[in-house]
Amino acid sequence: MPVARRCRRPRLQVMSFETAPYIDVVLSWSRTEAGTSAVMKRSAADDAWNEIGRTDGTEFSAAGLNPERSYTFAIAPVESDGSLAAEDEWETIRVAAMADEGTPPLPEAPTGFAATQDAANLNFRWDAPAGGRAATFEIRIGDSWEDGARVAADLTGTSCSWPWTASGAATFHIKAVDVHGRTSRAAASIDVTIAALDSHVTADAADQGAAGWPGTKTHLEVDGGALRLERLPLHFGAAIAPFASFAGVPCFAKYWPRGVYEAPPFDAGQVEHQRVELDMGVAQPVDPNLPFGAVRRPALGARRLRDETLVPLGTPSFASQNSWRLTPLPPTDVEIEIDTSATPAGPWDGWRPFAPGTYKYWRSRLRVTVTGDGLRFVRVPRLVVMRRKFNRKQEGHVVVNCQPVDVVFPTPFQNSPKVTATLLGYAGNPTITNVTPTGFTIAGGAAVFVGDPATFAPTVHWQAMGT
């Protein structure tokens, strides 16, 4: 009777994943007795064993395996009557082809995952992970990634909008997906409370350019009504004491490569929801008078972007044979952040990435960071911060007669709302009095309600609009 032995690790012969979607695995084992062996396979622990072949040797090739799945193989001795030996005498081994050392690593999880609500849409944004292995992204909603429902997939950028279907608390998860369809092991998650659909009525626009760019400017200056990166000061030998610092400034630069504009705080006067969006323009003018040798990357060898991502082979270079080609330099980078505070003069909540949507705050402020190439200035011709006050509507029915009826709002307003009322099925207008953020009084009488006040009790539909 064969004795169960632990099988040696199979010699995996894996074809290129780019040229063949399936692979062959060569299994080998040792034995002390001659005889026929049956090769068994199953994909999961609770699956039934399937016989895929028999051999008198000590090797067997299992073909057509999915490299992204794991399989368990077993070598079962065949008895003289053709039956298989007891399962506890089989030799088993688990094979996970993509766990081979030659397998590309999985992408890292995205970072900076954030979301804001814009009426019927949720606006998502995130940062791509380092390493350049993320090809697309997928977002799910649910208690966990495994149990969540798909919100969006095959996202190639770092932002998207999604029309939500139900208000209330929800948890969203995002993972990076590589070119082989494999997701990152970890997911970035955020908790969002989706507010029910309401209306925006009060609007305000703060034009920074028209106001002379009143905010704090760092390495930025006003030029013809626009904001632009500031020209670098004179360097060594200039009549400047002490000498200016040029840390982080690239060679041959004429302008500061990075500038920051912080808009003045916006005071809502109370804690409330407001929709915030921007009208912004950024331009990097073409300057043919670039200095010879102003080459920021080698003509030969590996090239990288600012985030250290390798530039794909075949991408046109900015230099060839050590000569300037006048090809476009990298476009300008713009980062916009928002900060909020729940008090009129207290601490701020902290800077975070901005996405157009609804925020709840007393005060808010914006910070715009512009990054250029150092050779040409970058202009910000306009920056208009638009805010729209969040207006809520509540409505209901009440039965009235000659006696006043007090109505309490299901949810209190911050300020006294505007209340209107309409009789259902009858002519006449009820009287609205004592309107407060928590409720109002509605009354009628013989002059309004035609009929016997003792038996006549019409239904009134009321609406309250306010913040």
Contact status, residue 277 vs residue 119, Cβ threshold 8 Å: no
Q: List, in sequence order, every residue forming a beta bridge with 89; answer none if it has no partner.
A: none
Across the chain, which distance is largest between two alpha carbons, in Å?
Answer: 111
For 64, other C-beta atoms within 10 Å of its C-beta total: 9
Report residue 97: phi and psi, to 5°. -60, -40
The CA–CA distances, whole Å, from 409 to 195, 196, 430, 432 equal: 18, 16, 18, 14
Contact status, residue 277 vs residue 325, Cβ threshold 8 Å: no
pLDDT at 320: 38
pLDDT at 447: 42
pLDDT at 110: 94
Instruction: List, as own/partner pairs, every contact residues 323-328 make where C-beta atoms lie below 8 angstroms and the sequence separation is at least 24, other chains included.
Output: 324/290, 324/292, 324/293, 324/294, 324/295, 326/288, 326/290
Contacts of 407 (CB under 8 A, 6+ apart): 396, 398, 439, 440, 441, 442, 462
pLDDT at 1: 38
pLDDT at 457: 66
pLDDT at 282: 75
Q: How far apart are CA 323 and CA 293, in angstroms?
A: 7
pTM for the model stands at: 0.48
Q: How far apart are CA 272 and CA 340, in angstroms?
A: 11
Q: Tell me, what DSSP letter sits at residue 412?
A: -
pLDDT at 400: 78
Contact status, residue 161 vs residue 122, Cβ threshold 8 Å: yes
For 259, other C-beta atoms within 10 Å of its C-beta total: 23
pLDDT at 293: 38
Question: In which residue ranges of the chain is pLDDT below 70?
Answer: 1-21, 32, 45, 97-103, 165, 197-201, 234-252, 284-333, 375-377, 390, 402, 425-428, 444-457
